[in-house]
Chains A and B, each alone.
Chain A
Amino acid sequence: MSDMTLSAPARRPLVLRHPSVLVFLTILALFTLGVTLLSEGAGIGAISTSFVKTLGKTLCFCLVALAMDLVWGYCGILSLGHMAFFGLGGYAVGMWLMYERTRMIVADSLAAAELPPTAQEISDGIATQIFGVVGASEFPPVWAFAHSLPLQLAAVVVVPGLLALVFGWLAFRSRVTGVYLSILTQAMTLALSLYLFQNDSGLRGNNGLSGLQNLPGLDDIPQSAVSLWFFWASALALGVGYLFCAWLVSGKFGSVIRAIRDDETRVRFLGYPVEGFKLVVFTLTAVIASIAGALYYPQAGIINPAEIAPIASIYLAVWVAIGGRGRLYGAVIGAGFVSLLSTWFTGGQAPDLVLGPLRIQWVDWWTVLLGLSFVAVTLFAPKGIGGLVDLAARIKSPDRHGADLGPDAGALREREADQ
């Protein structure tokens, strides 16, 4: 080996520099395989289809938590609007699912007529079916592309991306930071949700979109199989998303956004356009959140404006805080753990707790418990559940300040072992 390579070792692949990425991807792959083998659709049937859906939805939550961790844990922007982007992704995909399925039903029922139906008749039929509940029978302009899956999929990226770009540009340019920025994002979320609640918003008001679990033209395929498809897609999206985020934060870009979190004025004097960086992170994470939402809602089957309400984004922040922000696996652990626990408590499976005259029914008391744990984590364990990994790592390898690891001098040194 020449001196040159000694002084500047070649850069090793990302997964080797950050072993946690490899560990995470392995666990995710094993988990996906395990669930598949135990599912009703492709395995022994130990896991019900509805639980496969719950797990698939949880993976989507993990993905949106990654986005939240990137924007909050790494870049320091406490956004209370990322679940709005999540919802927008769901609406974009939901519109096509609902349109296409209704079109098939309408076409079927009109096929029996003596005269073949005109395009206008079919279109009117679909509109009446979809918008009957809000007393309308015409397609609103936002449905202009609902007939096309590629265009609606493009909307999953473009609509939240543009919204985040415009909103972020206005907010960051005015140097709004900290709690004021959080309030601003929350206001955006609230405004969007209130707008969608109106019947004339064109998205069926508080009814939202429903029947999204039924894929058009695939009526013969049982939900047990469809649920697995979405589960796999969600696992794949989470894996790719995790790799992407790990790549993003591993290099100088990660360095700069963490620096912005810690002291943005100083970063500005280093010559970095802080607003530009924030805008890139905010927009990128909005798109990731939207993709997660686009995978989530076909598994949930229904989306309505309540899902976009600010409380959802606050929950997202709670997940990331409990899991441990500033580390990617922390966000995933937080979202997975808390949302599954929440499903268990609110699903009525948790036994009631009797404390003398007080009977604690978890369906009602779960949010209280969650709130208390959030306060406890913030006060006593700011690193969250992810901090346990640090503890475990320190127990295994005490800091020997570069000294020999073996019994005799000249044994492998700590610094060598680290590499």
Chain B
Amino acid sequence: MTTLLEVSGVSVSFDGFRAINNLSFQIGEAELRAVIGPNGAGKTTFMDIVTGKTRPDEGRVTYGEKSVSLLSLSESRIAQMGIGRKFQRPTVFEDQSVADNLMMALKKDRNPFAVLMFRPVAADRDRVAELADEIGLSAALHRKAGELSHGQKQWLEIGMLLAQEPRLLLVDEPAAGMTLAEREHTTDLLKEAAKTRAVVVVEHDMEFVRRLDCKVTVLHEGAVLAEGSLDHVTRNEQVIEVYLGR
């Protein structure tokens, strides 16, 4: 399996606090990975670094077949290269319809002038309808996103991510605030997505991680503590200490 994203020896400090400490991480082209760790382990900072929001003090982040360094690229450029991100809190554009939200996310030229001249063709509208179907929002296509329930907003955001057709998906706590049925649906969506692309899921909920049934990376104090199957890492002494001890 070829590597899609490689993070090596990355460190970053905020006002002297080392949020990420010599972190290394790899993920292949079609792989599902769960990242777990206690609060303050650096999970969100890790995502910030990959998506270009935070610049690391040292280390390398390379992406794709040509191993392009992401460190000098802007957030929008990184997103255009195929790295999609879902935030912890669902962030959809509440003042706009579900269809508009999806249409905006569709993989198209992002240049302002191209966007100005863009007029959706039948294929684009069909794609939006298809996505809405996939996330169970077909009936809500013309409703404003702000009127949706919390779970529906989470799905809309996942739908927007899928619309971007990313090669690497970073998902921050997708199941937060969802009902059991909604969680199952989300697990299926993520597993399905991971068949054709790399998906990194940050999650607190062990039950959810177990259902994902994938390789797990445990972060602690900004570094990788353990990596392997969920059963493997939960037997790890250090992991038990971090999670249960002290």
**Chain A interface (Cβ < 8 Å from any Cβ of B):** 4, 7-8, 11, 248, 251-253, 255-256, 258-259, 262-263, 265-266, 268-274, 276-277, 279-280
**Chain B interface (Cβ < 8 Å from any Cβ of A):** 51, 53, 74-77, 79-80, 84-85, 87, 91, 93-96, 100, 103-105, 110-113, 115-116, 118-120, 122, 125-126, 129, 160, 164
A248 contacts which chain B residues (CB < 8 A)? 116
A270 contacts which chain B residues (CB < 8 A)? 76, 79, 104-105, 160, 164
> Does B112 lie within 8 Å of A268, measured CB to CB?
no
> Does B93 lie within 8 Å of A7, measured CB to CB?
no
A8 contacts which chain B residues (CB < 8 A)? 122, 125-126
Given contacts A253-B116, A255-B103, A273-B74, contact A268 B79 (CB under 8 A): yes
- A286 CB to nearest chain B CB (Å): 16
Secondary structure class of chain B's binding surface, majority of residues: helix
Q: Which of B76, B77, B79, B119 has the most CB of A within 10 A?
A: B76
Taking CB as reference atom, which chain B residue is nearest A260?
B93
**Residue in A255, A274, A276 whose CB lies within 8 Å of B100:** A255
B85 contacts which chain A residues (CB < 8 A)? 269
- B41 CB to nearest chain A CB (Å): 22
> Does A271 lie within 8 Å of B96, measured CB to CB?
no
Taking CB as reference atom, which chain A residue is nearest B74?
A273
**13 additional A-B residue pairs with CB within 8 Å, beyond A252-B120, A271-B76, A271-B80:** A11-B120, A252-B103, A252-B104, A253-B112, A258-B96, A263-B93, A268-B79, A270-B105, A271-B77, A271-B164, A272-B76, A272-B110, A280-B116
Given the complex of chains A and B, what is the CA–CA distance between A255 and B105 in angstroms? Answer: 11
> Does A266 lie within 8 Å of B87, measured CB to CB?
yes
Given the complex of chains A and B, what is the CA–CA distance between A196 and B113 in angstroms? Answer: 35
Given contacts A8-B122, A8-B126, contact A258 B79 (CB under 8 A): no
Secondary structure class of chain A's binding surface, majority of residues: helix
> Does B75 lie within 8 Å of A263, measured CB to CB?
no
A272 contacts which chain B residues (CB < 8 A)? 76, 110, 115
Given contacts A4-B122, A11-B119, A252-B104, contact A276 B112 (CB under 8 A): yes
A263 contacts which chain B residues (CB < 8 A)? 91, 93
A262 contacts which chain B residues (CB < 8 A)? 93-95
**Residue in B75, B112, B120, B125 whose CB lies within 8 Å of A269:** B75
Given the complex of chains A and B, what is the CA–CA distance between A7 and B138 in angstroms? Answer: 13
Q: Which of A4, A253, A271, A274 has the most CB of B within 10 A?
A: A271
The 8 closest A-B pairs by CB, nearest first: A271-B79, A8-B122, A268-B75, A271-B80, A253-B116, A273-B76, A280-B112, A266-B91
> Does B115 lie within 8 Å of A252, measured CB to CB?
yes
Taking CB as reference atom, which chain A residue is nearest B84?
A269
- B160 CB to nearest chain A CB (Å): 7
Pull 16 A–B residue pairs with CB atoms less than 8 Å apart, ordered by A: A4-B122, A7-B125, A11-B119, A11-B120, A252-B104, A259-B93, A259-B104, A263-B91, A266-B87, A268-B75, A268-B79, A269-B79, A273-B77, A273-B110, A276-B111, A280-B116
- B97 CB to nearest chain A CB (Å): 9
- B39 CB to nearest chain A CB (Å): 22
- B75 CB to nearest chain A CB (Å): 4
B103 contacts which chain A residues (CB < 8 A)? 252, 255
> Does A7 lie within 8 Å of B126, measured CB to CB?
yes
- A324 CB to nearest chain B CB (Å): 15
- B101 CB to nearest chain A CB (Å): 8
Given the complex of chains A and B, what is the CA–CA distance between A276 and B76 in angstroms? Answer: 11
Given contacts A268-B79, A270-B105, A271-B76, contact A258 B116 (CB under 8 A): no
Given the complex of chains A and B, what is the CA–CA distance between A386 and B66 in angstroms? Answer: 53
A276 contacts which chain B residues (CB < 8 A)? 111-112
